[in-house]
Amino acid sequence: MALHTDLLDIRATYMRAPDSCFWVAEAGGAVVGMVAVAPPQDPSQRGVALELKRMSVSKDYRGRGISKALCGEVLRFAQARGYGAVVLYTSVVQVVAQRLYEGQGFRKVGTSSPSLLASLLCFQIFHYRCDLPGRPLSPAPPR
C-alpha cells in the first residue's frame, strides 16, 4: 500500500516537506535499506516529536548494522532540529524490529489495534518513543 501513497513520490513527501527526510543505504550500487522521518500523524505529537517511518533493509543485508545506522540518522536529524523525541509504530509480529528500536533507546508507550478483525486475531500495533538527550522529557501519550 505504501507504494501507492508516500513512497509513490518520495521527493514530494519527504525531501521537500519541512522536518522530513528520506535516507537510503547502498551496497554495490543497489539500494539495500531505507528509512524516512516526518512530522507525526498524531496531532498531539506535532511540534514535539518526529515519526520514524518506512524502515526496511533487504534480507541479504540484515545483521550488518544498517538498520541501526539508519535509525541513528533519524535520531540525529530530529535532535538537530530541536525535537524532544522520535516516535514510531510497529506491529506485534515485527519482533526483530522491536529489539532494534529498544536497543536504540525507544520504549513501548502504548498499543492499539487497527480494526475489529485485528482485535479478534490479537494483532496489535505497538507505539514506541525515544526521548532525545538535551531536551526535557515530555509525558508519554495516554495508553
**Mean pLDDT across 28-39:** 96
Residue 44 CB: number of other CB atoms within 10 A?
10
Q: Which residues make Cβ contacts (< 8 Å) with residue 23, sequence separation at least 6?
A: 34, 35, 36, 70, 73, 74
Centre a 10 Å sphere on the Cβ of residue 115 and count the other Cβ atoms it contains.
9
According to the model, what pLDDT value does residue 24 have?
96
| 92 or 121: which leads in pLDDT | 92
Per-residue pLDDT, averaged over 76-90, amounts to 96
- Burial of residue 93, with CB atoms counted within 10 A of its CB: 0-12 exposed, 13-18 middle, 19 or more buried: exposed
Task: Name residues whose C-beta falls within 8 Å of residue 53's C-beta, 6 or more positions apart in sequence.
Answer: 6, 35, 36, 37, 38, 88
